[in-house]
Structure 1
Amino acid sequence: MDPKITNHFKDKRKKLMLKLFWSSIFTICSFHLSFGQNTQKIYARLNSLQNSINIQQEIVFHNNSNDTLNTLYLNDWNNAYSNKNTPLAKRFAENFNKSLHFAKNEDKGSTQILSVTDNNFKSLQWSRPKSSDLIKLQLNHPIYPGKNYKFSLTYIVKLPNAKFTDYGFTNNRDFNLRYWYLTPCVYDGNWKLSSNKNLDDLYSLKTTYDVQFTYASGYHIITDLDEINKETGNGVTTINLHGDNRSDLKLIFQKSSNAFSHFTNNKLTLITDLEAKNLNDITKASSANQVVNFVTSHLGDYPNEKLVVTALEYNKNPLYGLNQLPSFIRPFKEEFQYELKLLKTLLHNYLENTLTINPREEQWVLDGIQTYLMMKYVDEYYPNMKLIGNLSDTWLLRSYHLANMSFNEQYPFLYMLMVRKNLNQALTTPNDSLIRFNLKIANKYKAGVGLTYLKNYLGTDAVDEVIQEFYNNCQTIMATQENFEALLKEKAQKDIDWFFTDFVDSERHIDFKIKKVKKIKDSITLSVKNKTGTKVPISLYGINKNDSVVSKLWLTDIRDEKKVTIANTGIDKLVLNYDKVIPEFNQRNNWKSTGGFLSSNKKLKFQFFKDAENPYYKQVFFVPIATYNLYDGFTPGLRLYNKTFLNQPFIYDIRPSYALKEKALVGGGSFLYKNYIQNSNMYVVNYGLGGSSYHYAPDLRYSTITPLVSFGFRPDDLRSNERESLMLRFVNVIRDKDPSIQTNPDYSVFNVRYNYRNIGAINHLTWFVDGQVAKNFSKVSLNIDYRKLFQNNLQLNLRFFAGKFIYNDTTSDYFSFALDRPTDYLFDYNYLGRSEDTGLFSQQLVIAEGGFKSQLDNPYANNWIMTTNASVNIWRWIEAYGDLGLVKNRNIPTRFVYDSGIRLNLVPDYFELYFPVYSNNGWEIADNRYDQKIRFIVTLSPRTLIGLFTRKWF
């Protein structure tokens, strides 16, 4: 036979065998995908009057592991709304949210299991573990590796009020359904059991769903599932839905049919109710088309025909910042806002619906891709967009550094906000261990900024290629950070181990510094210092006199300090991280002039109000202020300070003022250096010097000078509200002498205080031990505050104070313990009239020392004192209070004291009113001067009040 013919048949046979091989592989894979995944059939009926769903469900669970399973766990996240002790309720309390604790029964959600049977109609034993939003099934026979297990459930879901998490029934009787049905937990060698903590991170494997849903005909359903058929009759509608390879079932039932718009192109059908009030339908369709095309071109095609993007989803994770301002002052064009809102939410759903990843453990991967593509979108379509939009062109703001920042600079800026507070957490920190600001903002932005940093370091399109390949590969396999890391390392042409060890898996920040610069003929030698020891690369730029880049070099392997020599090609300045791609802790030490020491000095810049940090200037901010007390009267002044929007280690704050009533200069100031310590329970050391000078009585001035050092301690879990501190200070007081007081007006007190606090909406505990030493006295005291909100909504407040003089050689009660109104000789309290003993200002109450509300005779103790203060709520913010105490003065028998009354706890610790009823004085309520006995607590400090609303974020 002709050899050519023989070779032809060999080649043909080889191709046939290869085709059969790949055909068999495809068949096996298809079999695995078709029969090796979970399937669910759900028959549901919505009872809109009772806010409940009757469900019959058939689940086929596939054991993908190599283990034999005898138990099975189900997620029952709807039951997280059932009582005050669920992980969800506790999470709310940690965030100072009492809504679920005070919820009425009709607003709570629950799941009532009626029956659970296996494929042979035999009942399965079930129980709820400690976490009430999980169900444990004891199987009648084991599930072997690679095998399926079929079982059925009948249950009633009582939906919660949507005011808790936006899921459930709304006030206008619409229904937003998510996590409304039971679904198997993931097993990968260990059961992945996670509770509902309002994080929207249920971990479930891809499932094929067949859903038959019956509901009142007045409702319209919004879903991304495929509609098989729909029948309406007798006032009800029954719809059959199907979805392949879905990770979640989100359904919306609305009475209105006009809320959602449909945009269709050759990629998918986008269904959304995101608003853009000033855009017509044609413009919105064009924007939607642009967003969809951008996402599909940078990720890949969406596997389903429809994608739903809701305003509810956007509002749970909005574009934080200027985009949340009221519409009439938003500085951005409507098209830009609409596209960014749509892009952010679409990207989240696009990735979440397609990739199967453990969202509680590895969410940073999806967050990184989402933020990276959002930054890329702005670079591509809005390259000149500024951080404050159109406001950057106004004459009032254009001189500010904030106005010159690009829109994408907000991402490293907001991440750095947490770094500067020493509250940054590693990207691999589980979602439920992240503080809220990191969960919602900082860690998402860090992940995206990190990918941009990596792209610039590699200098190629490797990151973009990896994102697209990762998305397409992981539609049929588990998406893990290990897969993502392996792809990046495969595509990168440089060593990028640092990205995962020192950026992703570390909370340490990045900070480099140029130390020395020296010109040697045609070269420049400089030293670069790594201040934190992170093994990451840093870019070095050479800038000429025209601020143009003449050279760029990536420096690597700087463990401590590195000497670098580069060619001098007309370089006027050397700058690290010139393009600000790297999220660096301090950029003020990133540049050096090659013209000598004097040319490196930064110019001084005075600016009204605070600004973003400008590394090329020494910024001094000023703002008018005004204070008030009875003796100085209205006191206008000027505040000079250096604090930018981001915290910095050294802060000064000087407040010269003029007292109109005294016609004299007054004011105060402070200098503070914060030394943050990473990877330590002692997370900060503060060194400070403060002083003030005001009047404590008519024509009598006081001045204080106080150096201090304090140490802050916290647990490893940053979500914990537990904090401890140790403070040492030396208070020096200089006063004008009051002729009516014979004691020396000047004194110094060394003060040591240890503080502990663990505050929350349900349990509140703070205590401190205080010691003071002065020339004529020494004392110690203990203060304990405890607040408890019980299951029956009864709130009990308890406070205990005990103080004892070690020695006391004073001849007045100025330094004595006080029952109701301490003399405040350390000038810690914000008294409006500190020397008053009659009139309205004398009725101001500061809960300190004895904590009594009634003004009793002989209220001081020069030996020891012990008091207990208690209050309990009667109705809402109305409480009954009572105080008991023992007071001991030298050479006088111990005295028992008490008082009681009504407390209006309008804003706890900030605005309260006290109405005495009965005390050692008798029936105070019967006194004809009763109005003079009412006491009040008021806080005028804006910073203190703002802290009341921001505490849930940090």
Structure 2
Amino acid sequence: MRKIGLFFVFLSVFTSVGYTQNSKITIKAILLPDVDQMAIQQKINYVNKSGTTLQNIVLHNWPNSFKNKKTLLAKRMLENFKKSLYFSDSIERGNSDIRRVSVNFSPVKYQKYKGFEDILEVLLKQPLLPLDSLTITINYKIKFPSNKFTGYGKNSLNDYILRYWYLVPAVCEKGDWKAYSNLDIDHMYMNVIDYDLNVHVPITYHINTDLYSSKSYSKNFAIYHLTGKNRVDIQLNITREKSYPSYKTDHIVVVSNIDDKTLPHILKKTVINREIKFIEKYLGKFPHNKLLIDKETAYKNRAYALDIPKFLSGFSDVFQWDIEFFKALSKKMVEEMVIVNKNEDYWLPEGIQVYLLMKYCEEFYPETKILGNLSNIWGLKTFNITQLKFNDKYPFIYQFSARENLDQSLMTRVDSLSNFNRKIISSYKAGLGLRYLENFLEDTTFQKSLKQYIKEYKFKTNSTHLFQEIITSNTTKNISWFFGDYLNTIKKIDYTIKKVKVKGDSVYITIKNTRNITAPVALYGIKDKKIIWKQWITDVDSTKTVKVAKGNFDKISINYEKLYPELNQRNNWKNVKSKLFERPLQLKFIKDIDDPYYTQIFFKPRIGYNYYDGMVLGIQFHNKTFLAKYFEYNIIPTYSFKSNNISGGFSFNYNHYPEDRNIYKLSFGINGSSFNYDRDYTYTTFKPSATIYFNRKSLRTAGRNFLKIKYHNINKKIPLGVEPSNEDKYNLVKITYNYSKPELLNDFRFSTSAELGSLFHKISTDFRYRKLTKSNRQLDFRWYTGVFLENSTDDDADYFSFGLSKPQDYLFEHNMYGRQEDAGFLYQQYIIAEGGFKSFFKDSNQKYANQWMSTINTSFSIWNWAEIYNDIGALKSKNKSIFFAYESGIRLCFMHEIFELYLPVYSNNGWEMNQNYSEKIRFTFILEPLKIFNSMRRGFL
């Protein structure tokens, strides 16, 4: 009897623990659309699975992250150059209004956790022991934000797209609460939870969700009863239109508003069924029978190669819809089956998603190219980049980032990743890494391990370490390189074939490791672009010679299938029998990607203009591809039609990107040019330079920081018979330090330089500060000061002087359309340099300073792109009194420092708005695509 009693005690304990395996959330809620609110009564049956005794419970309270402009979300959006939340009206913001918190039906104290607005700490009166449970009851209201901030909230159709809309317990690991603020990265770390929801909505609304749903009615409300077990996130889309279409596949109902009216419902159902079967082939059976896939999920996880207007797309409607839907579907399925802390193990679920997408395209769209059918259009098909397969984009885009050390290690915390890495590069490198691992392990080891990992840790929080343990246990091959350097560093893989030698019936291949990471090498024998043989070579830490049997192949190649991300694929092959021209010369129009089998020279037309040369036409020959190169050259011969001169320029640059240093880049270069500086008179420049670019504090920090030393040799043509002066032929050294931090609210730039010539030494400082005020007004402040330390030029000579309204530009650094003009339209061009004044003054001592100058330029926005500017300054020349200058006017800033107009109003001249006023208006117009692009791209990189 005693044994039977003990058995029942054990059974009781076992049943209790099993029953309380998951925490449970019960919600009763009512939607109040008139005020964009939801009243919620929530109960959390919390089970302590942390392994330690708890004194508090921490809840994610993300609805409150939209509360004001001081939350971490608002600050993070500013870092991303998004000002919508910071400058929003209170009616657009969201919040949570907590009225009461009870534990086991007894009121308790609660507070912000560590001062974070969107994390709530519930203080317990009694400690909570391991595997024990308690009930937290919370009464609160949430105010929905506008969806323009993060995509979630109220949209323009008065629908409510809700994610992270309720209070959720954070994960506690060994007493450490893994609680994180909402940073708009679409991840909340949480345990699986069981749900039971009753949501009342006005009868005109519909709820779309992936929970099991039943509906009843009460007066003017529809009551949705929603249940689900072992779920990690609950998304509700409450819409005024009819419910989303559903697709009943073999065992999963998919609810989605991702629509394409050109495709019939039955076709989309068939495609979705194929997608689910494919994903389950790699991950195992999906544990739930319903999924919600909405437009917002698809948009936030879009395939960027497809992210172009449909009328420009070269892809079929079926392919485009299939890939977009697959990407969103695989994300949702992976998130439900791979429960990791993405703040610390971001690479794993992201890598699995990209790996699945690559495998899917490999099986169903093996011949699809990166531009789809556009790749076959005459004119486009001659470019190598258009002939890339769709899956080739992953190593290509990785190279784009890695060449300039813009990538980050895969184990970097997600909140420290740059936007470019978080959205694209890290996911691509992770997916490529998993494919790399799969091919290296060969047979089906990787796929079996992935399925085993999903099966063992389904519904459990886990980590990279547990994934590593499973794969290691299933292979005898050494994979420490992957879970070591590949994941934890930004070391770049780059192997090259140093030598190929034929001896008798054997071929000896010497492989060289050009970098500091040792990883497996895929070696191939190639004939007519077909693989004859392939083998994996390991342990190539410096050089290694491999012997293979002589056969029917004429090329030896490394990474021919682009199975892994490599820094440089141009050095990956050699002919078995050496040839006189290993890489024949190839001329290509505009710009392309490298063709490793040719030495490429690119060319494109160049068009320019200045008043003295007139229209300038020429051809630019260069070696620049879409990927950065260490050595780059530009040779630009041109013809000037007005002056009938041969003109042009050149540049040669060598760039070095050190890894793990305080220095981002070292650049050494030589450039020169020859154009007209006046009617019938040319100038030539020759300028060698060296520049050190320092690393930013992090890749999330905008701006740059560099030190440059440049030697200027200037030679100007003068009239015959005229003795050359110091203003016609001169040399000087210019040393410049530049620092910039262009944040959205506070744009800070600082530059100081020293010019050392035979006749003068001078220094100058240019400080600029641009601020967006709390009322969304823009304030620009600039302070410039220049001083001659020594000046042996003539007292009346102003050629090397500081300019108040216009710089002399004796170093030919500015793009001036009419540099010698002293009247007329071209004279009115405004260059933001030196004194920075807009009004013109008559006397020379009011225009130039050969001793010192100091000015302050300010402007303040009054409406949209209209601003008021005010400038003051003082300048001093030899044997002349100090001139104090002041002015004010209107600045029309259409594009900052690219396209602007200045309308003077009042200055030392008096009222400027009198006769000949059109001659006083100044303009800035810079037609340089790179500057325009950099101005517009902020927030993505």
The separation in 2 between residues aligned to 1:654 and 1:171, in whole angstroms, is: 53
Partner AA of 1:388 in structure 2: L
**Partner of residue 580 from structure 1, selected from 545, 558, 562:** 562
Q: CA deviation at 1:408?
A: 0.9
Q: Distance in 2 between matches of 1:555 and 1:179?
A: 48
For the Cα contact (< 8 Å) 2:525–2:533, is it kept in 1?
yes
Asked whether the 8 Å contact 2:727–2:799 carries over to 1, the reply is: no
2:449 aligns with 466
- 2:666 is aligned with 1:680: no
Cα distance in structure 2, aligned partners of 1:526 and 1:391: 40
Offset, 1:573: 2.3
Residue identity opposite 2:921 in structure 1: I
Quote the Cα distance in structure 2 between the aligned partners of 1:445 and 1:24. Answer: 53
Q: CA RMSD in A?
A: 2.2
Q: Which amino acid aligns with 1:299?
A: L
- 1:772-792 CA-to-partner distances (Å, cap 9, x unmatched) read 111211111111111222334
Match of 1:207 in 2: 193
- Indicate conservation of the 8 Å contact 2:520/2:539, yes or no: yes
The reply to whether residue 185 of structure 1 matches residue 189 of structure 2 is no
Task: Describe the superposition over 1:416-466 as per-residue Cα deviations: whole angstroms up to 9, x where unpaired.
Answer: 111122101111111111111111111111111111111111122111112
Q: Does 1:833 align with 2:818?
A: yes
**CA 1:541 to 1:26, structure 2 compared with 1: closer, same or farther past 3 Å?**
farther
> Which of 147, 156, 159 in structure 2 is aligned with 1:162?
147
Q: Is the 8 A contact 1:45 1:55 kept in 2?
A: yes
Corresponding residue SS for 1:360: coil
Shift of the alpha carbon at 1:817? 0.9
- Secondary structure of 1:133's match? strand
**Corresponding residue SS for 2:339:** coil
Which residue pairs with 1:13 in the alignment?
A: none
Q: What's the TM-score once normalised by structure 1's chain length?
A: 0.94
Aligned CA distance change for structure 1 residues 26 and 244 (closer, same or farther; 3 Å): farther
8 Å Cα contact 1:84/1:791 also seen in 2: no
Among residues 270, 280, 293, which one is paired with 1:286 in the alignment? Answer: 270
2:181 paired with 1:195: yes
| Partner of residue 793 from structure 1, selected from 776, 790, 804 | 776
Instruction: Answer yes or no: is the 8 Å Cα contact 1:118–1:124 preserved in 2.
Output: no
AA aligned to 1:95 is N
For residues 403-442 of structure 1, what are the structure 2 equivalents within 5 Å? 403-442=386-425
Pairing 1:749–2:732 present: yes
Question: Among 540, 544, 551, which residue is 1:558 paired with?
Answer: 540
- Alignment map for 1:142-157 (pairs within 5 Å): 142-157=127-142
- Write out per-residue CA displacement over residues 546-583 of structure 1, whole angstroms, 9 at most, x where no aligned residue: 44434433221122222333333354322221222121
CA distance in 2, matches of 1:866, 1:736: 33
- Aligned length in residues: 929
Q: Specify the SS of the correspondent of 2:462.
A: coil
Cα separation, 2, equivalents of 1:128 and 1:854: 56
Inter-partner Cα distance in structure 2 for 1:697 and 1:918: 32
Report the residue type matching 1:471 in the other structure: I
CA distance in 1, matches of 2:490, 2:369: 29
Note if 1:568 corresponds to 2:550.
Answer: yes
For 1:666, the equivalent position in structure 2 comes to 647
Cα offset for 1:415? Answer: 1.4
> Judging changes above 3 Å, is the alpha-carbon distance between structure 1 residues 813 and 33 closer, same or farther for their aligned structure 2 residues?
farther
Distance in 2 (CA, whole Å) between partners of 1:876 and 1:716 is 33
Q: Does 1:691 align with 2:675?
A: no
Residues 1:36 and 2:26 are matched in the alignment: no
Equivalent in the alignment of 1:12 = none
SS at match of 1:733: strand
| Match status 1:633 vs 2:645 | no
Q: 1:649 to 1:742 in 2, by over 3 A?
A: closer
The reply on whether 1:300 has 2:255 as its aligned counterpart is: no
Given that residues 207 and 224 in structure 2 are in contact (C-alpha distance below 8 angstroms), is that contact kept between their aligned partners in structure 1? no
TM-score under structure 2 length normalisation? 0.95
Counterpart of 1:57 in structure 2 is 42
**Partner in structure 2 of residue 275 of structure 1:** 259
- The runs of 5 or more residues in structure 1 that have no matched partner are 1-16
Q: Which residue of 2 aligns with 1:95?
A: 80
Query: Aligned runs of 1:16-415 on 2, under 5 Å?
Result: 31-127=16-112, 129-189=114-174, 190-227=176-213, 229-257=214-242, 260-321=244-305, 323-415=306-398
Q: Which amino acid aligns with 2:386?
A: A
- What is the identity, as a one-letter code, of the residue corresponding to 1:899? E
The one-character-per-residue Cα deviations of 1:96-131 (angstroms, maximum 9, x if unpaired) are 222122212211111222222222332323235333
Q: Please say if residues 785 and 799 of structure 1, whose CA atoms lie closer than 8 Å, have aligned partners that are also in contact.
A: yes
Measure the CA separation in 2 of the matches of 1:428 and 1:57.
Answer: 36
* Aligned counterparts of 2:771 and 2:19: Cα–Cα separation in 1: 54
Q: Quote the Cα distance in structure 1 between the aligned partners of 2:827 and 2:703.
A: 35
- What corresponds to 1:735 in structure 2? 716
Identical-residue share of aligned pairs (%): 36
Structure 1 residue 301, shift from structure 2 partner? 1.6
**What is the DSSP-based 3-state SS (H/G/I as helix, E as strand, rest coil) of the residue aligned with 1:361?**
coil
**Which range moved further: 655-664 or 435-444?**
655-664
Tell whether 2:758 aligns with 1:775: yes
Q: 1:450 aligns with which of 403, 414, 433?
A: 433
Residue type matched to 1:237 in 2? A
Output one character per residue of 1:513-545: Cα deviation in whole Å (capped at 9) or x when no partner: 22233333333334322111101011222334x
Identify which range, 129-138 or 821-830, moves more after superposition.
129-138
Query: Which sections of structure 2, spanning at least 5 residues, go unmatched?
Result: none
Tell me the SS of whatever aligns to 1:362.
coil
Deviations 1:904-952 (A, max 9, x none): 2222222222222222112223x22222222222221011101112232
Using the TM superposition, name which of 697-706 and 771-780 deviates more. Answer: 697-706
Call closer, same or farther: CA 1:766–1:469 in 2, change over 3 Å. Answer: same
The equivalent of 1:822 in structure 2 is 807
- Residue 313 of structure 1 aligns to a residue whose secondary structure is helix
Q: Secondary structure at the match of 1:423?
A: coil
- The one-letter amino acid of 1:94's match is E
Q: Deviations over 1:267-324 (max 9, x none)?
A: 2011112222321222222212211221222212221111111121111121002x12
In 2: Cα distance, 1:714 partner to 1:919 partner: 43
Letter of the 2:212 partner, please give it.
D
* Whole-angstrom CA distance in 2 between matches of 1:29 and 1:477: 19
- Helix, strand or coil for the counterpart of 1:132? strand
Q: For residues 808 and 592 of structure 1, do their structure 2 counterparts lie closer, same or farther at Cα, with a shift above 3 Å needed?
A: same
- The farther-off stretch of 72-81 and 306-315 is 72-81
Pair 897,525 (structure 1): closer, same or farther in 2 beyond 3 Å: same
Letter in 1 for 2:65: A
